[in-house]
Structure 1
Amino acid sequence: MFKKITNVFSQYRGLSRSAYVIFYARIITNMGAFIWPLLTLLLKRKMGYSELTIGYISLGIGSIFVVANIIGGKLADRFNRKKLIVIFDLISVSFFISCAFVEPGTIMVVLFSIAGIFANIENPSFEALIADISKSKDREKVYSLSYLGHNLGFMVGPLIGGLLFENYLSLAFVIDGLTTLTSTILIILFVKTSDAEQIKEQEIEMQEINEYENDEDDRCSTFNVLLRRKSVLLQLVIFIFSSFIYEQWSFAVPLYIEELYMEKGGMYFGFISGYNGFIVILFTPILTWLLRKFRELQKIFIGVALYSFSFLLIRNAPALSIFFVMIFVFTIGEIVNMLGSSPYLSRRIPASHRGRVNSYASVCYFVGGVGGRALIGWVINDYSYATAFTVITCVGVVALLIILLNYKLDKKTFPLLYQKKAV
């Protein structure tokens, strides 16, 4: 038993220094992540928008973010990824902090939308950088560690944000921006982009080499790269469906809690968000180790199934304790899905096109998430929360059928990944 516990934690040994720096940077950033998790309540409580209007606002902002991600993907494959992260982080932070000096309203929406635009331009570089600093066989561990850092901070951030939300909103914006700035400084000082080159120069055993990541001619269009990898194209569709479902925990759930508990809704959702982070911290290392021999699409199937059906637990105005049960099931699904989806693209796309393909994945996440907010906002407005949660689960069933189809296609497209043991 002791040996198994030791294995759970020792699995993170031997990664590159940059992987550990990104881990600490994500802790710091998300310790100050007060605003984005409470954005729905900010638009409703502080600005007085209806659920339907919030859905439309999310759709408009998300459409702009789609363009930002595409631009960011092209930049990530053309310029130094670390420098891009630093530059756009600094710009994003400046706009975010400026929100502290205006009253809740249209100007505030514009300012944090601009901050989000630059954050999304940076995103493909960040995702590509994580793949750059890791071996193919270590991808689950690196993404797991990064995700763990994200949630170590996120466990604290929304909890504090819920307490600051009512009376100290300006302070929340300032602290949020400063913590992001601190993590950017860590990346400037300690993340070495040469790590990727050092990894390539190491003596890697033949079974560790993944030929699907070999650089292609950069003149080869991303469309042609994807056309030769049809299972990746289908996986992008799956990302749309899974994002549609996943985003409802930060959209439909807080609105539902607000409906049930009125002025205490923000505080209760802050507690639930903190609980989500606690579950991630406790179970991410365990699930990473337990599922280490599962294929990526198997993990994605399990994850999507769990968080799709979790919404059925809260259909009929349950007690507050049931929300914590629902979030437990949801979060286990979230972790398992992450362990599959994060390394999926990095093993199947050449390094020369990582930025652009990651930007397309981000676009799919936005399309699914923002489209889901708009559609579910309409369902809540015209029908009921119970109907909305049923629709969410039905979308999950469709996603699961597509994943099963893609598993067969993926085995044909990337046979070597299925021949290797414990990839």
Structure 2
Amino acid sequence: MGIKEELKTYVGLPKSIYVLFFARIINSMGAFVFPFLTFFLTENLGMGEEIAGKFVFMSAMSYVPGSIIGGKLSDHIGRKKIIIFFQALAAICFIPCAFLGNSIVVPWLLILAGVFGGAAQPAYSAMMADLTNTDNRKPAFSLLYLGINIGFAVGPLIAGILYNNYIEWIFLGDAATTFISLILIMIYVHESLPTEDEIEQSKELDTNERAEEGNLFEVLLKRPQLLAFALVSTIYSFVYAQHSFALAIQVKDIFGMDKGTVFFGMLGTTNALVVVVMTLFLTSLTKKLKPILNISIAGILNAIGFGIIYYIAEFPMFVFSTIVWTMGEILNVTNSGVYIANHAPMTHRGRFNTILSIITGAGFALSPVIMGSFIENHGVRQVWPLVFVLSMGAAVLMYILYRVEKSQEQKKDCIKL
């Protein structure tokens, strides 16, 4: 299949999806701050790995209170309003950081920005589900993910260069690009919150997306497979968190601080470039596979990509490792959003995305705390065999979930016949 045929995957999507695509390119191009948070805490503020890990943990967990508020409000007030309001507040938090130097106030402002950013994320996910259906959802999520990483292909490289001499522009650049992306959304994306008529019509459908009555936990318990998926995804996020924590420490230990920051930025750019180059290809290659099966394959790629870091010390091999685990990232991210959207009722999309992001994000948040202590006691190199075992185990659990769902679908088909 040629590139032109593969590009047809993205043809015919709703106009708002294309606007969100360009908005996320701009926003991600300026996402300078959080990828370099570990460096800022350990080098600029002189924290040890364990204390730095606790701050990274608080930064990662900061999205939880915001997400709870944003998920609830996005289901009642609207997706667009929540995105614009809270993303703007997050951008405002970055501005004073540019002028505070190496003040301890900076990480606390970044934690506050995480609260506001967390409030916007359930609204983004709910809007994507609102604007798509089961036929075009996978290419739509794939396109948005591609847009995010087109921006990331440039952002970390610029940040790696700015970090040592112009660190204030890391904060100002992040704020500026966030505001530009919000202007695009404000002007060109319509509110997608389902109307009362759409909600009533959906109650007649025999799908997991039909409207439901009741509180979040009552509705979630009716979907045990989605809950199981979220719990296993926690292991995935625990593993993936090493790309910004343990990997940063390992690169710094091997290559030194000056080269380490530049090389780490280059690995971030490699990650994003692989996403840009491979997302369309992998989406096309796996489009006939169930999302849950693709996620199982992603776990195997993550295990290999991170696991081989135990054996390497040369930068080209770090690049190879990044390519492998990035392919796992592509399959995981593009299919996880689809899986959740296909199983969440339209009346609870914001709240479902909140609770599921909290469950799955717990792995990402806890990882720096656990691994920070682990590294201080055993060394950073010992992280990678542990990560390999965890990722392979999670891949097996996802495959079991795939087999259970396939069996249930076959039973439904037999009943219909």
Match of 1:311 among 297, 306, 312: 306
How far residue 165 of structure 1 moved from its aligned partner, in angstroms, is: 0.3
> Residue 149 of structure 2 contacts residue 275 of structure 2 at CA under 8 Å; is this kept in 1?
yes
How far residue 55 of structure 1 moved from its aligned partner, in angstroms, is: 1.3
Evaluate the alpha carbon distance shift between residue 21 and residue 414 of structure 1 in structure 2; reply closer, same or farther with a 3 A threshold.
farther
Which consecutive residues of structure 1, in runs of 5 or more, have no partner in the other structure?
202-208
Evaluate the alpha carbon distance shift between residue 181 and residue 406 of structure 1 in structure 2; reply closer, same or farther with a 3 A threshold.
same
How far residue 366 of structure 1 moved from its aligned partner, in angstroms, is: 2.5
Alignment of 1:269-348 (within 5 A): 269-348=264-343
In structure 2, distance between residues paired with 1:417 and 1:362? 30
Higher mean alpha-carbon deviation, 145-154 vs 354-363, is at 354-363
- RMSD of aligned residue pairs (Cα, Å): 2.2
Task: Provide the TM-score with structure 2 as the length reference.
Answer: 0.93
| 1:392 paired to 2:390 | no
In structure 2, distance between residues paired with 1:285 and 1:155? 16
Match of 2:114 among 94, 113, 116: 116
Higher mean alpha-carbon deviation, 377-386 vs 9-18, is at 377-386
Higher mean alpha-carbon deviation, 360-369 vs 228-237, is at 360-369
> Residue 251 of structure 2 contacts residue 264 of structure 2 at CA under 8 Å; is this kept in 1?
yes
> Residue 52 of structure 1 contacts residue 374 of structure 1 at CA under 8 Å; is this kept in 2?
yes
How far residue 8 of structure 1 moved from its aligned partner, in angstroms, is: 0.8
- Secondary structure, counterpart of 1:171 in structure 2: helix
> Residue 152 of structure 2 contacts residue 272 of structure 2 at CA under 8 Å; is this kept in 1?
yes
> Residue 297 of structure 1 contacts residue 340 of structure 1 at CA under 8 Å; is this kept in 2?
yes
| 1:213 paired to 2:176 | no
Match of 1:244 among 238, 263, 268: 238
How far residue 414 of structure 1 moved from its aligned partner, in angstroms, is: 6.1
Aligned residue number for residue 204 of structure 1: none
Evaluate the alpha carbon distance shift between residue 346 and residue 414 of structure 1 in structure 2; reply closer, same or farther with a 3 A threshold.
farther
Aligned residue number for residue 253 of structure 1: 247
In structure 1, distance between residues paired with 2:250 and 2:294? 29
- Secondary structure, counterpart of 2:76 in structure 1: coil
> Residue 302 of structure 1 contacts residue 333 of structure 1 at CA under 8 Å; is this kept in 2?
yes
CA offsets, 1:136-190, max 9 Å, x none?
Answer: 2111111000000000000000000000001111111111100010000000000
Evaluate the alpha carbon distance shift between residue 63 and residue 416 of structure 1 in structure 2; reply closer, same or farther with a 3 A threshold.
farther
How far residue 70 of structure 1 moved from its aligned partner, in angstroms, is: 1.8
In structure 2, distance between residues paired with 1:405 and 1:418? 20
Evaluate the alpha carbon distance shift between residue 280 and residue 159 of structure 1 in structure 2; reply closer, same or farther with a 3 A threshold.
same
In structure 1, give the amino acid aligned to 2:267: I
> Residue 77 of structure 1 contacts residue 354 of structure 1 at CA under 8 Å; is this kept in 2?
yes
Identity %: 32
Higher mean alpha-carbon deviation, 305-314 vs 8-17, is at 305-314
Aligned residue number for residue 375 of structure 1: 370
> Residue 78 of structure 2 contacts residue 192 of structure 2 at CA under 8 Å; is this kept in 1?
no
In structure 2, distance between residues paired with 1:378 and 1:191? 45
Alignment of 1:50-199 (within 5 A): 50-193=48-191
> Residue 133 of structure 1 contacts residue 195 of structure 1 at CA under 8 Å; is this kept in 2?
no
Evaluate the alpha carbon distance shift between residue 417 and residue 9 of structure 1 in structure 2; reply closer, same or farther with a 3 A threshold.
farther
> Residue 60 of structure 2 contacts residue 114 of structure 2 at CA under 8 Å; is this kept in 1?
no
CA offsets, 1:70-91, max 9 Å, x none?
Answer: 2221112121110111011111
CA offsets, 1:244-291, max 9 Å, x none?
Answer: 011111111111000111121000111111111111001101111111
- Secondary structure, counterpart of 1:175 in structure 2: helix
Higher mean alpha-carbon deviation, 22-31 vs 405-414, is at 405-414
CA offsets, 1:188-231, max 9 Å, x none?
Answer: 0000125977xx79xxxxxxx772211112xx121121211111
In structure 2, give the amino acid aligned to 1:393: F
- Secondary structure, counterpart of 2:46 in structure 1: coil
CA offsets, 1:401-422, max 9 Å, x none?
Answer: 3212322333456669999xxx
In structure 2, give the amino acid aligned to 1:253: L
In structure 1, give the amino acid aligned to 2:359: C
In structure 2, give the amino acid aligned to 1:299: N
In structure 1, distance between residues paired with 2:192 and 2:236? 34
> Residue 299 of structure 1 contacts residue 339 of structure 1 at CA under 8 Å; is this kept in 2?
no
Aligned residue number for residue 35 of structure 1: 33
Aligned residue number for residue 202 of structure 2: none
Task: Provide the TM-score with structure 1 as the length reference.
Answer: 0.92
- Secondary structure, counterpart of 2:259 in structure 1: helix
Which consecutive residues of structure 2, in runs of 5 or more, have no partner in the other structure?
200-204
> Residue 152 of structure 1 contacts residue 281 of structure 1 at CA under 8 Å; is this kept in 2?
yes
Match of 1:222 among 216, 219, 237: 216
Aligned residue number for residue 206 of structure 1: none
In structure 2, give the amino acid aligned to 1:35: V
Higher mean alpha-carbon deviation, 68-77 vs 404-413, is at 404-413
In structure 2, distance between residues paired with 1:274 and 1:114? 27
> Residue 63 of structure 2 contacts residue 114 of structure 2 at CA under 8 Å; is this kept in 1?
yes
Higher mean alpha-carbon deviation, 352-361 vs 60-69, is at 60-69
> Residue 231 of structure 2 contacts residue 360 of structure 2 at CA under 8 Å; is this kept in 1?
no
In structure 2, distance between residues paired with 1:350 and 1:104? 46
How many residue pairs are counted as aligned between the two chains?
409
In structure 2, distance between residues paired with 1:394 and 1:115? 34
Higher mean alpha-carbon deviation, 376-385 vs 183-192, is at 376-385
> Residue 308 of structure 1 contacts residue 392 of structure 1 at CA under 8 Å; is this kept in 2?
yes
